Amino acid sequence: VNQILLLLLVLTVCAILYNKVHQVPLALRNEAVDLESPEETEEEIPVVICAAAGRMGAAVAAISSIYSNTEANVLFYIVGLKTTIPHIRKWIENSKLKEIKFKVVEFNPMVLKGKIRQDSSRPELLQPLNFVRFYLPLLIQKHEKVIYLDDDVIVQGDIQELYDTKLVPGHAAAFSDDCDLPSTHEMIRSVGMQNTYMGFLDYRRQAIRDLGISPSTCSFNPGVIVANMTEWKHQRITKQLEKWMQRNVEENLYSSTLGGGVATPPMLIVFHGKYSSINPMWHIRHLGWSPDARYSEQFLQEAKLLHWNGRYKPWDYPSVHTDLWENWFIPDPSGKFKLTRPDS
């Protein structure tokens, strides 16, 4: 009996020791689970903006307007050439924008070699950074959905709303149609701007006629893009765009026509009938098309995004609605970039 009692006692002590020994790692293991499985973090919104030489103030104003009007978790991808990157980085780090989350990405212009026809009436549209939008998957690796914005915009709404734009399954991108708002029709008529494919593609060329696209088809503006990177890569959009760039070099399909430049026409061809729509108020454009034609102030206050596409930029003179743009401009700490104003 004593031996049995002794055996039970030993077993009881062993059981107590076993529990004590294994309680610590169990607690640590539970802690580790908690640490490794935090509450779901806020979704990151990647926004791509280029910082080109001579117009970095535009990128700064665009970033400032986005950052000031949202509580969303925005990550700015600021794309530049090797020579311009130090300037924009210094500007951000030495201004109130130092609080933003950003990555500076270098764009290698050699990818464009042999793909640009050098005969545009607006040489500034041939600058390498104008083609960054063609190469989004190469620059942005980890995101499924991306916003691309031209530098000559300001954002008055919450960028989260633009990011939440629904893309139809199978569509790689969403744009704003040039026929979407009556108010923009009035602006287009007043400055004689085209808003159809006829204004961008040369229908005298057989290759363009063979596309089977009516010249009266409404065009779209690729200055604001919400893109699905998976679809973009799956459909080999970049390769398709490069193909039409090269064909233009060989056949002069669009660079001498009314649209000017060589970045919009390839996108009109590749995305014809295969893109989703952005809320029209998220891309109010043509503010830079004329130094005189203006939208109503009430309409502009309701707009979510303003785009000074055209020759007349809000950091130069003459231009219109410059006060709306200048609200978001942050002076260059180095003093290299200066606004051009009547009294300057």
Q: Which single residue is written with the structure tokens 């490794």?
A: 36
- Between residues 340 and 199, the one the model is more confident about: 340
Q: What is the pLDDT of residues 5-37, one digit of tens each?
A: 666 666 665 666 555 444 433 322 333 333 333
pTM confidence score = 0.86
For 242-268, what is the mean pLDDT? 84
pLDDT of amino acid 183: 63
Q: What is the pLDDT of residues 147-180, one digit of tens each?
A: 999 999 999 999 999 999 999 999 999 999 988 6
pLDDT of amino acid 31: 31
Q: Could you tell me the domains of the chain?
A: 45-177+220-234+269-327 (3.90.550.10)
List the single range of 30-34, 148-152, 210-214, 279-283 with lowest mean pLDDT: 30-34
